[in-house]
Amino acid sequence: MVRVMVVDDHPMWRDAVERDLQAAGHDVVAVASNGREAMARFPASAPQVVVLDLQLPDNTGVQVTSMMLEHDPTARVLILSASGEQGDVLEAIKAGATGYLVKSASSAELVDAVTRVAEGEAVFTPGLAGLVLGEFRRIADGPPDDPRDQLTERETEILKMVATGMSYKQIASRLVLSHRTVQNHVQNTLRKLQMNNRVQLTRWAIEHGLDTEGE
Amino acid sequence: MRVVVTINMVGLNAYRRDTFQHPTLGLAVVLALVAWTAAAIWLYHDRARRTSLLLVADLAIAVAAMALTPLVKTPDFNATIPGFWVMGALLAWAIHWHWKGGLVAAIALSVTDLLPRSDLDQGNYGNVFLVLIGGPIVGYMCESLQRMARERDAAERAAAAAEERTRLARAVHDGVLQVLTMTQRRGAAAGGEWADLGRLAGEQERSLRSLIRQQDTLPTAAEGRVDLAGALEAMATAHPVRVDVATPGGALLVDAHVATETVAAVRACLDNVLAHVGPEASAWVLAQAAPDAITISVRDDGPGIASGRLEQAEAEGRLGVVSSIRGRIEELGGTATMESGSWGTEWELTVPLA
């Protein structure tokens, strides 16, 4: 059983997700319809997984993600979005979200994703894998003194397979690796992405003289 | 600026006061000009007070001050009393009525300056020439500047309106997507006819989603270059096989010819999927861009191609689709490779960017 919070501005949708999760034996500890409500209810309900729609009326999806994880780093955020792979999905993942699912995913896929995200496993769609590959490609093509981490050849190879819709099981058998190893590689790409984001934020802060705060 | 030319005028006239035949009258003219300068600065300050009457009065005073010069000084004077002070009125006309105003004011001032002079020397001629050239040019420049400012304002308004429309469209699209997705999910759960309805909703949802993505990258397309990511999306949406397109985000600008041929090759891959796996097949297209090449991967979830079958087909001369894929890509100087296994069949098309 996973303690879940559902954040979505469409009541119809929120109810459906809630019902699906409850039917699968999960505990929906809180719901919210915008970023402000979500932040107000998050600390008291202490969910393990937050199922978050990025298209909130107050446009705070990415911000809510980073605020929640700052408040409780053990919480996991699963982005659920209707509009498909947009730039803000990548931003939310960089801000620390662990998974991403399009809303057209079936109930079973959603329940499975919540379970996997609760265990800290990364959940990617092919579209998001393509965006992540693009992001690392841009880093690789950028200036050579960039301190940000790049993907290893293996990680790129695996991410490419995720981007062409292959399951971890299929990837494992194609590359003759264990399922666990594939999972770790995907996990690593996510970790690097989030680490790079922090490096970039820190660099930005130093360049703008924000690191002297508190002196 | 009026203040500067007024100080200049007062200073020069004080310096040359011994050339005045009637110093009292001269002093009166200078004082009147100073007073008018102060009044003009105040009057011009408010747009509502900037009437034609004010401009005519401004020029008339300048002309009058010049015309009075021969009376105050000797008829064969050297410099007019106002001197460069007339610039104020000239520029006001140029700013307000553009090059025509500048020209009229310049002619009025020049004629007034030249008429009473007994002889015309190089300096007088130079001043008149500059005034005649300068007036219309300043007027013309003002006109251009004002037009540019208007155009910029219009462009800014248009951009703001477009942005607002995009924002509204996004909200509407999001709502529509939610409902389509919901119909798809509920339909699948209910089964029967509802499942068909759900499947249709799913198709619409995918088309709308890809349309939104294509639109997001639209404005970046430049002359002669097209967005390959958008073109792939458009083609894949229309294809009977269910296709998921993954792109690096943003537009993938390539030459129109490269885009057309690459899209055609990818379509041939998908046609191949339809022919060999069937309409129930799923396919994925991944576009990646390096500075020197683009790579497109196309994978299907079919049973794969048994080893040796391709060679056999080639020997029998039945390789229409495959050669069409290879042919198009090799024409662009790229390579097309195919891999197959239990996980399906994957084409990798690499096209160099010149």
Are the beta carbons of B267 and B349 closer than 8 angstroms? no
Residue A189 structural domain: 127-207
Task: Say if A55 is an interface residue toward chain B (CB within 8 Å).
Answer: yes
Q: Is B347 helix (H, G, I), strand (E, B) or coil?
A: strand
Mean per-residue pLDDT for A116-125?
88
Q: For A142-178, where are the alpha helices, taking DSSP H only?
A: 153-163, 168-175
A91 shares a domain with A78: yes
Identify all chain B residues contacting A80, using CB atoms and an 8 Å cutoff. none
- How distant is the Cα of B345 from the closest Cα of chain A, in angstroms? 11
**Is A44 part of any domain?**
yes
Q: Show which of A71, A106, A123 is a domain's final residue.
A: A123
Interface of B with A (CB under 8 A): 170, 173-175, 177-178, 181-182, 184-186, 188-189, 202, 205-206, 209-210, 212-213, 216, 244-250, 282, 284-291, 297-299, 301, 341-343, 346
Q: How confident is the model at residue A195 (pLDDT cuts 50, 70, 90)?
A: confident
pLDDT at B111 over 50: yes
pLDDT at B72 over 90: no
Q: Show which of A93, A123, A153 is a domain's final residue.
A: A123
A147 shares a domain with A110: no
Instruction: Give the chain B residue whose CA is nearest to the CA of A12.
Output: B182
Task: Say if A130 is an interface residue toward chain B (CB within 8 Å).
Answer: yes
Q: For chain B, where are the alpha helices, taking DSSP H only?
A: 2-15, 23-45, 52-72, 87-114, 122-190, 193-217, 228-238, 256-276, 309-315, 320-331
pLDDT given at position A84: 63
Structure token pair of residue B124:
């007088």
A154 shares a domain with A116: no
Identify all chain A residues contacting B210, using CB atoms and an 8 Å cutoff. 84
DSSP characters for B182-218? HHHHHHHHH-THHHHHHHHHHHHHHHHHHHHHHHHHG
Identify all chain B residues contacting A85, using CB atoms and an 8 Å cutoff. 213, 246-247, 249
Give the H or E element holding residue B73. none
Quick one: A29 exposed, middle or buried, by C-beta within 10 A (0-12, 13-18, 19+)? middle
**Is A53 part of any domain?**
yes
- What's chain B's average pLDDT? 82
Instruction: Give the chain B residue whose CA is nearest to the CA of A165.
Output: B284
pLDDT at B233 over 50: yes
- How distant is the Cα of B192 from the closest Cα of chain A, in angstroms? 17
How far is the C-alpha of B24 from the C-alpha of B227, rounded, in Å? 79
- What's chain A's average pLDDT? 86
Answer whether B178 sits within 8 Å of A131, measured CB to CB: no
CATH label of the domain that carries residue A203: 1.10.10.10
pLDDT given at position A209: 74
Domain count, chain A: 2
* Distance set, CA B133 to CA B55, B59, B351 (Å): 20, 18, 59
Instruction: Specify the range with the lowest mean pLDDT, choosing from A199-213, B175-189, B254-268.
Output: A199-213
Mean per-residue pLDDT for B71-75?
73
Structure token pair of residue B315:
């020997």
pLDDT given at position A211: 61
- Render the burial of A145-176: b for 16+ CB within 10 Å, e for the rest: eeebbebeeebbebbbbbbbbbebebbbbbee
pLDDT at A29 over 90: yes
Answer whether A164 sits within 8 Å of B297, measured CB to CB: yes
pLDDT given at position A215: 43
Q: Suggest the residue from B284, B337, B348 to mutate for an interface test with chain A (most A CBs closer than 10 A).
A: B284
Answer whether B189 sits within 8 Å of A107, measured CB to CB: yes
For residue range B302-343, what is the model confidence (pLDDT) as tens digits? 887 776 666 676 666 666 677 788 888 998 999 998 888 888
Q: Nearest 5 degrees, angle CA B205-CA B210-CA B212?
A: 95
This prediction's pTM: 0.66
Mean per-residue pLDDT for B13-36?
79
A34 shares a domain with A105: yes
In the chain, the amino acid numbered A167 is S
How far is the C-alpha of B324 from the C-alpha of B322, rounded, in Å? 5
Conformation bin of residue B249: beta by default, left when phi > 0, alpha when psi is -120 to 50? left
How far is the C-alpha of A126 from the C-alpha of A152, rounded, in Å? 19
Q: Suggest the residue from B172, B184, B185 to mutate for an interface test with chain A (most A CBs closer than 10 A).
A: B185
Identify all chain B residues contacting A129, using CB atoms and an 8 Å cutoff. 246
Structure-model confidence comparison of residues A111 and A10, the more confident one: A111
Relative to beta strand B344-352, strand B293-300 is: antiparallel
- How distant is the Cα of A58 from the closest Cα of chain B, in angstroms? 12
% chain A with pLDDT above 70: 95
A67 shares a domain with A106: yes
Answer whether A10 sits within 8 Å of B175, measured CB to CB: yes
Q: Where are the domains of chain B?
A: 1-220, 221-354
For residue range B256-277, what is the model confidence (pLDDT) as tens digits? 889 999 999 999 899 888 888 8
Largest Cα–Cα separation, chain B: 117
DSSP characters for A16-36? HHHHHHHHTT-EEEEEESSHH
A164 shares a domain with A119: no
CATH label of the domain that carries residue A59: 3.40.50.2300
**Is A187 part of any domain?**
yes
Torsion angle in degrees (nearest 10) through CA of B317, B319, B320, B324: -130
How far is the C-alpha of A192 from the C-alpha of A190, rounded, in Å? 5
pLDDT given at position B217: 59
Mean per-residue pLDDT for A79-108?
82
Structure token pair of residue A101:
């699912």
Structure-model confidence comparison of residues B352 and B306, the more confident one: B352
- How distant is the Cα of A43 from the closest Cα of chain B, in angstroms? 28
**Is A215 part of any domain?**
no
Mean per-residue pLDDT for A54-76?
86
* Distance set, CA A91 to CA A105, A134, A150, B40, B220 (Å): 21, 13, 18, 58, 21
A77 shares a domain with A24: yes
Q: Which residues pair with B346 in a beta bridge?
A: B299, B339
pLDDT given at position B317: 61
In the chain, the amino acid numbered A67 is M
- Give me the helix-helix angle, B122-190 and A11-23, nearest 10°: 40
Structure token pair of residue B166:
């995009």
Task: Say if A44 is an interface residue toward chain B (CB within 8 Å).
Answer: no
pLDDT at A214 over 60: no
A193 shares a domain with A136: yes
Structure token pair of residue A174:
């194609």
A29 shares a domain with A117: yes
Instruction: Specify the range with the lowest mean pLDDT, choosing from A22-31, A68-77, B159-168, B295-304.
Output: B159-168
Q: Show which of A57, A92, A123 is a domain's final residue.
A: A123
Quick one: B150 exposed, middle or buried, by C-beta within 10 A (0-12, 13-18, 19+)? exposed
pLDDT given at position B322: 74
Answer whether B177 sits within 8 Å of A83, measured CB to CB: yes
Answer whether A130 sits within 8 Å of B213, measured CB to CB: no
* Distance set, CA A189 to CA A100, A116, B263 (Å): 14, 17, 30
**Is A214 part of any domain?**
no
Quick one: B156 exposed, middle or buried, by C-beta within 10 A (0-12, 13-18, 19+)? exposed
A199 shares a domain with A157: yes
- How distant is the Cα of B284 from the closest Cα of chain A, in angstroms? 5
Identify all chain B residues contacting A89, using CB atoms and an 8 Å cutoff. none
pLDDT given at position B6: 78
pLDDT given at position B333: 92
Going by CATH, does the domain composed of B221-354 fall within 1.20.1050.10? no
pLDDT given at position B220: 52
Answer whether B205 sits within 8 Å of A104, measured CB to CB: yes
**Is A212 part of any domain?**
no
**Of A13-17, B14-18, B68-72, B122-126, which has the strongest mean pLDDT?**
A13-17
Answer whether B287 sits within 8 Å of A170, measured CB to CB: no
Answer whether A135 sits within 8 Å of B245, measured CB to CB: no
A135 shares a domain with A49: no
How large is the ipTM? 0.84
